[in-house]
């Protein structure tokens, strides 16, 4: 399954400049998701992080992981209609063990690989990893809950 940015926006409420996922290239419901963000010098965050030495902020990498994890959780609830999904939102409860292993720069394609660790009802525990050119740049464990808006 492939989801472009228009499909992504049907599932999560984020919009420019805070939509941090450009495409989903693979989803295995209740198991995993692969998606990416193209990091460009046109991203607003580079105006201040850091002028003359642009580095994509770690917190933005974690938010991209969280957005990808939200899509995986929604798509894993297969019996939910688009209308029902529109009445729900994913709240992140914790991000644990976050590590940043290499800087991400303009021109990089940030690939998110999200895996389900555990799911109990509306609660999801996910492993998130971010790669650039198959090099691990960040990882974290994410816990989220799907709730009514």
User: How far is 50 from 42, CA to CA, in rounded Å?
Assistant: 13
Rounded to whole angstroms, the maximal C-alpha distance in the chain is 49
Q: With contact defined as beta carbons under 8 Å apart, do 74 and 85 qualify?
A: yes
14 is an active site residue: no
Note if the bond before 130 is cis, omega within 30 degrees.
Answer: no
CB 31 within 8 A of CB 116: yes
Of the candidates 14, 23, 28, 49, the residue annotated as catalytic is 49
Sheet of 88-100, strand order: 23-28, 32-38, 109-120, 123-132, 135-148, 88-100
The two three-digit tokens of residue 72, written as one number: 């995986």
What residues are labeled active site? 49
């Amino acid at each position: 399954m492939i989801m472009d940015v228009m499909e992504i926006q049907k599932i999560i409420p984020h919009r420019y400049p805070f939509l941090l996922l450009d495409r989903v290239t693979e989803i295995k419901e209740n198991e995993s998701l692969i998606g990416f963000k193209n990091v460009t010098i046109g991203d607003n965050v580079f105006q201040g992080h850091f002028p003359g030495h642009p580095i994509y902020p770690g917190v933005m990498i974690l938010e991209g992981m969280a957005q990808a994890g939200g899509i995986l959780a929604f798509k894993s609830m297969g019996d939910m209609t688009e209308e029902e999904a529109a009445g729900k939102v994913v709240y992140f409860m914790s991000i644990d063990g976050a590590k940043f292993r290499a800087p991400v720069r303009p021109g990089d394609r940030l690939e998110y690989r999200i895996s389900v660790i555990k799911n109990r009802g509306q609660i999801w525990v996910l492993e998130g990893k971010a790669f650039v050119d198959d090099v691990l740049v960040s990882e974290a464990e994410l816990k989220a809950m799907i709730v009514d808006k």
